Amino acid sequence: MAVLKAHKISKYFYEPEKFQVLKEVDLSVDKGQFLALVGKSGCGKSTLMYVLSTMDTQYNGELEIAGTRLTDKHQNFLAGFRNKHIGFVFQFHYLLPEFTVLQNVMLPALKLGSKSKEEIEAKALEKLNILGMQEHARKMSSKLSGGQQQRVAIARALINDPDIIMGDEPTGNLDTYNSDLVFDIFSELTHTYKQTIIAVTHDESFAKRSDRVVEMSDGKIIHG
């Protein structure tokens, strides 16, 4: 069953001159799949990720996630949709520095507002536990190492039990040890919790260990 369906996604940039970054990209991702998106630098991986994540609405084609058609929807609707259905992990860990680890993880759930604060806190601690970060819950997020911050970011991405986790080079800024750790976490999430993951990566070993590798070149999917 497909969680994400993209049909004929095309996108142009007009600066400095008109140029087509994405060329009728078709992609379907099944539930519980761990998908690695690879390709040469500049081929359009990040651009595709931003379209799939609903943050970029300037494209042609159709996008559907978890049975909801997302093309041509209003920004506010899309923001709410991301909150509930999509979790993000970025290359630069991007935690909010003035907040504690626990507060960072709780934030998307507080925004969703469907549970009480106590329930959210319990759930955040549970997610931190999965990532082995529970003991750091009360620390300020800026006081953690890069690898630790990335694990907190993954916990944050998981807090609302999203349909998909998306990552743009989530291990790009980590050493081998931490990269392996993040990879292990991702495989555990897919295999134990049936979590769907789409991750852009340059790391070949990372790609090899995923369920499915999709390769892009010059704005098109050429393999997978």
Partner 1 sequence: MTSLKLSVQIAWVHLVTKPKQTLIAMLGVTFGIGMFIAMVSMMTGLNDLTESLAMTSSPDIRIYHDVTTERKSIAEELNLNGITKVHHQKPKNESLKVRGAVKIAEQIRKHPLVKGASVLLNSQVFYNYGPVQLNGTIAGVDILEEDKLFDLKSKMKEGQIENLITNQDGILMGTGLAKKLSVRTGDRVVITTPQGFTKTLKIVGLFQMGIGAVDNVKSYANLGMVQTILEKEKSYITDVNVKLYDFKQAKAVAPEFQQAFGYKSEDWETANATMLLGVIIRNILTYSVAITLLIVAGFGIYNILSITIHNKMKDIAILKAMGFAGKDVKQIFMVQSLVIGFFGSLLGLLIGFVLSLLISRAPFDGGDFLSIEYLPVNFSSTYYMIGIVFGIVTTALAGYLPSRKAANIDPIEILRG
Ligand X SMILES: Nc1ncnc2c1ncn2[C@@H]1O[C@H](COP(=O)(O)OP(=O)(O)OP(=O)(O)O)[C@@H](O)[C@H]1O
Give the binding site for ligand X (CB under 6 A): 13, 15, 21, 39, 41-47
- Both tokens of 127, joined, read 């997610």
SS3 call for 67: coil
Measured from the CB atom, is 106 or 207 closer to Mg ion? 207
The residue from 28, 60, 68, 75 that contacts partner 1 (CB under 8 A) is 75
Measured from the CB atom, is 21 or 144 closer to ligand X? 21
Measured from the CB atom, is 45 or 85 closer to Mg ion? 45
> Contact between 83 and partner 1 (CB under 8 A)?
yes
Helix residue ranges per DSSP H, the chain:
45-52, 75-85, 101-112, 117-130, 146-158, 176-193, 204-208
Near partner 1 by CB under 8 A, which window of 34-42, 61-69, 89-97, 191-199? Answer: 89-97
Near partner 1 by CB under 8 A, which window of 65-73, 91-99, 122-130, 215-223? Answer: 91-99
Burial of 7: CB neighbours in 10 Å, binned 0-12, 13-18, 19+: middle
CB of 60 to partner 1, least distance (A): 17
User: Residue 154 to residues 22, 42, 65, 179: CA-CA distances in angstroms?
Assistant: 28, 26, 20, 13
- Phi, then psi, of 136 in degrees rounded to 5: -95, 5
Cis peptide before 97 (omega within 30 of 0): no
Measured from the CB atom, is 21 or 214 closer to ligand X? 21
Measured from the CB atom, is 23 or 84 closer to Mg ion? 23
User: Residue 166 to residues 33, 118, 191, 215: CA-CA distances in angstroms?
Assistant: 12, 27, 17, 16
- Phi, then psi, of 10 in degrees rounded to 5: -125, 145
Residues 34-93 that bind Mg ion (CB under 5 A): 46
> Contact between 112 and partner 1 (CB under 8 A)?
yes
> Contact between 202 and partner 1 (CB under 8 A)?
no
Binding at 113: pick from ligand X, partner 1, Mg ion, none (beta carbon under 5-8 Å per type) = partner 1
Count of residues interacting with Mg ion (CB under 5 A): 1
Count CB atoms within 10 A of the CB of residue 37: 29
- Positions that interact with Mg ion (CB under 5 A): 46
